[in-house]
C-alpha cells in the first residue's frame, strides 16, 4: 500500500465543485493562553463550547490552509452580560468583534484573512475591554469562502499533540539483555505535560517528564501480565509485577488506565541541552517464566549512575523485544506547543556479552497521528542523532513508516557501578543493618577492614593472602537478609585471580592466612552494588561469604 506524507494526506480527499464554502471549527479545538488549570472547566460537558471567563487569557484557533485565497471570519458566540468586545487577530490583521447579549449563539462578524501561501494559520482572540465583567461562550470559529475539503483542523475534542515514536528494528533471533540510549531535550522544547521516553520495550518504558512548573521526574514503569487495562485492584497477584529494589528517594506505586503495572519515579531537575544516558537491563528465569527489569539513569553532573527501580514481571521469561523511544504530550491543555527531543548512540547487549550499535529507526505515531487528527509532527536525523517533534502547528516533514539511518559513532557504553549516585547513602544504611545484626547476635565478627566485617573461623598457618594472588578456595555465599544461598562450591574448590573479584573479597581476604577459614560480611557497595546479577541476588544486597583458603599462587 502506498504511504502518504503526514502533512498532506488529507489533500487527497475528492473535491466536489459544489463543496461547502463554509468551514466551522469547533471551540473544543482551541487553546487558552496562558493554559487553564486541568481542573478548570474551560469547556462545557454539555455542548463542548468554550466558556471564556478570564479576560487575561487569550484564545487561539489553529488550522491549515493549502491554497491561497480570501477567507471571511465569523465568531459563533453568546454572552449573558452586557456587550463584550473581543479583539480578533491573525497575522497582521486585527478586528474588533462585538458579542451581543443573547441566550442563543449568534454569528458575530469579524473580518477577512488573505491567504498568500499554504501553511498553518492562527486566529487569536483577546478581551478588548478588561474593565467590564467578562463572560463569553464560544461555540465555533466560522471560515467563509473556502471549500470545506480544502482546510485541515482537529475535529476531535482531544487537544493533545500526537505522540510519535522511533522503533529500532532488531532481528528477533537476537537475545537482547540490555538496552542503552541517550536523550537530549533542546532548550525551549521542555514544555509542561511532556514525556520524553528513551528506553521503551515490550513490557515497559524509561524516560523523563515535565510534571509541573516546579517538578520534573525520571519515570520507569513495567506492565502487569493479563488483560486488565484500567483498575489494578482487579489484577490477580499472579499477574502483578513485584518491586525488587529501588534507588534512594524513588517513589514506587501502581498505575492503571493505560494498562496496569508497577510505576516508579524520582523527582530530579533535569536540564535542557544536557545529554542523559539511560539503561534497561534484564535477568531471566525461563523456568519460572519471570523477567527482572531494571532501569537506570546516568547523572552528568555527578558522573554516576543511579538506580531508579527493579521490577520482577510474571508470565515473561523473555529477552528484550520491541525497542523504541517516543515523545508524548500527556495533557491537552498545552497541546499547541512543540516538543522536540534528540535520541542518539543506541546500543543493545546480547546474552553472549556482545554489544551491537542500533543505527536504524522507523518513524511511527499514535492513533491521533494515524487518523491525521493532528498533522504537526516529524522526525529525522541531525548530527548522528535521531530526533522526534510533535505539536507546534508547523508543517510535518516525515512519512509515517519512514526509515532513518544515523552514522555509527562506535562509542559503546561503559559502566562503573562501584560509585553510583546512592553509594554513600547505601553504604551508611548497610553498615547500620550489619551493626544491628551484630548487636542482636545474629552474626559474630572479629573486626572490620575497609568497610568489610569479618570473623576468623580458623586461623591459617601460611602467609596472608595478597590482592595480587590467584586463590584456590571453597566458599558459600548467602544473603544477610534471609540467609538464602546464592552460590557455593561443591566437590572441587574454585580458582580465581583475586583482583578480578568483588572489592569485598579483595579487602576481606587480606586478613586471612592460607589454610584459614574466614566469614566476610560485605556491604552491597563492595559487592555487586546496583548491578543486576541473577535472580538470586537482589540489587543492593549485603552478602555473607564463608571462605576456606586452600592455596595461593603469587
Asked if residue 62 lies in contact with residue 161, where contact means CB atoms within 8 angstroms, the answer is no
Q: Does residue 104 form part of some domain?
A: yes
Local structure of 35: helix, strand or coil: coil
Assess whether pLDDT exceeds 70 at residue 65: yes
Would residue 117 count as lying in a domain?
Answer: yes
Other beta carbons within 10 angstroms of residue 361's beta carbon come to 25
The answer on 222 and 333 residing in a single domain is yes
For residue 13, tell me if it sits in a domain: no
Q: Give tens-digit pLDDT for 143-163.
A: 998 776 778 999 999 999 999
Is 472 within the bounds of a domain? yes
Q: Residues of the chain with pLDDT > 90: what percent? A: 80
The last residue of a domain, from among 101, 116, 150: 150
Looking at residue 5, its pLDDT comes to 47
Banded model confidence at residue 492, pLDDT cuts 50, 70, 90: very high
Mean pLDDT, rounded, for 154-174? 94
Query: Among 47-56, 80-89, 373-382, 517-526, which is the least confidently predicted range?
Result: 80-89
Q: When comparing pLDDT for 330 and 40, which is higher?
A: 330
Higher pLDDT, 6 or 502: 502
Which of 309, 325, 357 terminates a domain? The answer is 357
Residues 459 and 517 in one domain: yes
**Residue 528 region by backbone torsions, left for phi larger than 0, else alpha for psi between -120 and 50, else beta:** alpha
CATH code: domain of residue 111: 2.60.120.260
Could you tell me where the DSSP H helices lie in 55-154? Answer: none
Which stretch of 13-27, 34-48, 271-285, 540-554 has the lowest confidence by average pLDDT?
13-27
Q: What is the pLDDT of residue 148?
A: 67
Per-residue buried b or exposed e for 17-30, using 16+ beta carbons within 10 Å of the residue's own CB: eeeeeebbbbbbbb
Average pLDDT over residues 212-221: 97
Q: Of the candidates 327, 357, 387, which is a domain's last residue? A: 357
251: domain CATH number is: 2.60.120
Residue 3 in this model has a pLDDT that exceeds 90: no
Residues 203, 327: one domain?
A: yes
What is the pTM (predicted TM-score) of this model?
Answer: 0.90
Q: Is position 401 within any domain? A: no
Q: What is the pLDDT of residues 284-333, one digit of tens each?
A: 999 999 999 999 999 999 999 999 999 999 999 999 999 999 999 999 99
216 lies in the same domain as 299: yes
> Is 5 part of any domain?
no
What range defines the domain where residue 28 resides? 20-150
Does the structure show a pLDDT above 60 at 237?
yes
Cα–Cα dist 35/57, whole Å: 8
Verify that 80 and 215 share a domain, yes or no. no
pLDDT bin (cut points 50, 70, 90) of residue 500 is very high
Specify the CATH number for the domain of residue 466: 3.10.50.40
* 213: three-class secondary structure by DSSP: coil
> Could you tell me which of 448, 500, 498 has the C-alpha nearest to residue 473?
498
For residue 39, the model assigns a pLDDT of: 66
Q: What distance in Å separates the CA atoms of residue 137 and residue 42, rounded to the nearest whole number?
A: 10
Which helix (H) or strand (E) segment holds residue 201: the answer is strand 194-201
Asked whether residue 168 is domain-assigned, the answer is no
* Matching residue, cell 518513524: 363
C-alpha dist (Å) from residue 93 to 77, 123, 124, 245, 392:
20, 10, 10, 59, 21
Q: Report whether pLDDT(422) > 50.
A: yes
pLDDT of 232 > 50? The answer is yes
Residue with grid cell 535472580, as numbered in its chain: 535
- Segment (H or E) for 325: strand 324-329
**Where do the DSSP E strands lie in 366-422?**
377-382, 385-390, 403-405
Which phi and psi angles does 91 have, rounded to 5°?
65, -130
Whole-angstrom distance, CA of residue 212 vs CA of residue 230: 24
Which pLDDT score, from 0 to 100, does residue 68 have? 84
Which tens digit of pLDDT belongs to each residue from 403-421? 999 999 999 999 988 789 9
Helix (H, G, I), strand (E, B) or coil at 99: strand
Find the helix or strand (DSSP H, E) in which 432 lies: helix 423-439
For residues 193 and 144, membership in a common domain is answered with no
- Same domain (yes/no): 218, 266: yes
Number of domains in the chain: 3
Write out pLDDT tens, residues 183-194: 999 999 999 999
pLDDT(18) > 50: no
Q: pLDDT category, 10, cuts 50, 70, 90?
A: very low
Quick one: pLDDT band at residue 131, thresholds 50, 70, 90?
Answer: low
On whether both 238 and 272 belong to a single domain, the answer is yes
Q: What is the mean pLDDT of residues 83-105?
A: 88
Same domain flag for 335 and 293: yes
Mean pLDDT score, 4-30: 61
Question: Do 346 and 206 lie in a common domain?
Answer: yes
Is position 64 within any domain?
yes
What's the pLDDT tens digit per position in 457-489?
Answer: 999 999 999 999 999 999 999 999 999 999 999
The residues near 59 (Cβ < 8 Å, ≥ 6 apart) are 30, 31, 32, 33, 50, 52, 124, 125, 126, 138
Residue 398 has pLDDT above 80, yes or no: yes
Average pLDDT estimate for 493-497: 97
Same domain? For 346 and 220 the reply is yes
Tell me how far apart the terminal alpha carbons of the chain are, to the nearest angstrom.
Answer: 70
- In a shared domain, residues 488 and 532: yes
Q: How far apart are CA 320 and CA 356, in angstroms?
A: 14
Cell of 491: 566437590
Does residue 13 have a pLDDT over 60?
no
Which residue bears the cell 534528540? Answer: 342
Amino acid at each position: 500500500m502506498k504511504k502518504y506524507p503526514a502533512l498532506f494526506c488529507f489533500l487527497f480527499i475528492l473535491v466536489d465543485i459544489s463543496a461547502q464554502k463554509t468551514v466551522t471549527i469547533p471551540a473544543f479545538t482551541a487553546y487558552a493562553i496562558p493554559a487553564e488549570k486541568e481542573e478548570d472547566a474551560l469547556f462545557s460537558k454539555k455542548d463542548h463550547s468554550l466558556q471564556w471567563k478570564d479576560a487575561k487569557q487569550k484564545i487561539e484557533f489553529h488550522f491549515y490552509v493549502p491554497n491561497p485565497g480570501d477567507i471571511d471570519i465569523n465568531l459563533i458566540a453568546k454572552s449573558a452580560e452586557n456587550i463584550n468586545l473581543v479583539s480578533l487577530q491573525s497575522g497582521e490583521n486585527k478586528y474588533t468583534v462585538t458579542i451581543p447579549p443573547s441566550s442563543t449563539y449568534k454569528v458575530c462578524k469579524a473580518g477577512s484573512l488573505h491567504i498568500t501561501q499554504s501553511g498553518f494559520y492562527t486566529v487569536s482572540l483577546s478581551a478588548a475591554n478588561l474593565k467590564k465583567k467578562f463572560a463569553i461562550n464560544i461555540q465555533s470559529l466560522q471560515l467563509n469562502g473556502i471549500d470545506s475539503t480544502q482546510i485541515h483542523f482537529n475535529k476531535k475534542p482531544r487537544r493533545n499533540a500526537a505522540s510519535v515514536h522511533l522503533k529500532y528494528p532488531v532481528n528477533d533471533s537476537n537475545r537482547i539483555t540490555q538496552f542503552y540510549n541517550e536523550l537530549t531535550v533542546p532548550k525551549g522544547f521542555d514544555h509542561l505535560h511532556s514525556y520524553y521516553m528513551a528506553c521503551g520495550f515490550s513490557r515497559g518504558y524509561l524516560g523523563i517528564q515535565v510534571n509541573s512548573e516546579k517538578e520534573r521526574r525520571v519515570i520507569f514503569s513495567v506492565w502487569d501480565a493479563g488483560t486488565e487495562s484500567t483498575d489494578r485492584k482487579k489484577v490477580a497477584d499472579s499477574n502483578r509485577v513485584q518491586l525488587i529494589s529501588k534507588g534512594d528517594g524513588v517513589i514506587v506505586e501502581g498505575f492503571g488506565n493505560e494498562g496496569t503495572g508497577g510505576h516508579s519515579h524520582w523527582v530530579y531537575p533535569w536540564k535542557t541541552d544536557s545529554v542523559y544516558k539511560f539503561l534497561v537491563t534484564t535477568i531471566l528465569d525461563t523456568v519460572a517464566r519471570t523477567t527482572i527489569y531494571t532501569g537506570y539513569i546516568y547523572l552528568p553532573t555527578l558522573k554516576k549512575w543511579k538506580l531508579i527501580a527493579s521490577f520482577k514481571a510474571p508470565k515473561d521469561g523473555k529477552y528484550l523485544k520491541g525497542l523504541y523511544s517516543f515523545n508524548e504530550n500527556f495533557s491537552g491543555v498545552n497541546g499547541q506547543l512543540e516538543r522536540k527531543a534528540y535520541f542518539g548512540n543506541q546500543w543493545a547487549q546480547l546474552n553472549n556479552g556482545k554489544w551491537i550499535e542500533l543505527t536504524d529507526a522507523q518513524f511511527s505515531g499514535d492513533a491521533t497521528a494515524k487518523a491525521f487528527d493532528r498533522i504537526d509532527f516529524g522526525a529525522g536525523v541531525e548530527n548522528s542523532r535521531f530526533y522526534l517533534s510533535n505539536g507546534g502547528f508547523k508543517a510535518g516533514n516525515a512519512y509515517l513508516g519512514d526509515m532513518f539511518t544515523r552514522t555509527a559513532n562506535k562509542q559503546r557504553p561503559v559502566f562503573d557501578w562501584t560509585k553510583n549516585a546512592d553509594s554513600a547513602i547505601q553504604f551508611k544504611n548497610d553498615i547500620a543493618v550489619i551493626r544491628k545484626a551484630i548487636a542482636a547476635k545474629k552474626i559474630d565478627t572479629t573486626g572490620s577492614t575497609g568497610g568489610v566485617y569479618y570473623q576468623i573461623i580458623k586461623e591459617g598457618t601460611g602467609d596472608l593472602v595478597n590482592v595480587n594472588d590467584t586463590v584456590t578456595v571453597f566458599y558459600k555465599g548467602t544473603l544477610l537478609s534471609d540467609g538464602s544461598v546464592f552460590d557455593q562450591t561443591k566437590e572441587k574448590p574454585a580458582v580465581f585471580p583475586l583482583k578480578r573479584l568483588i572489592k569485598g573479597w579483595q579487602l576481606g581476604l587480606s586478613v586471612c592466612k592460607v589454610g584459614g577459614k574466614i566469614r566476610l560480611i560485605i556491604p552491597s557497595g563492595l559487592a555487586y552494588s546496583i548491578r543486576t546479577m541473577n535472580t538470586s541476588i537482589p540489587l543492593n544486597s549485603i552478602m555473607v561469604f564463608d571462605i576456606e583458603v586452600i592455596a595461593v599462587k603469587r
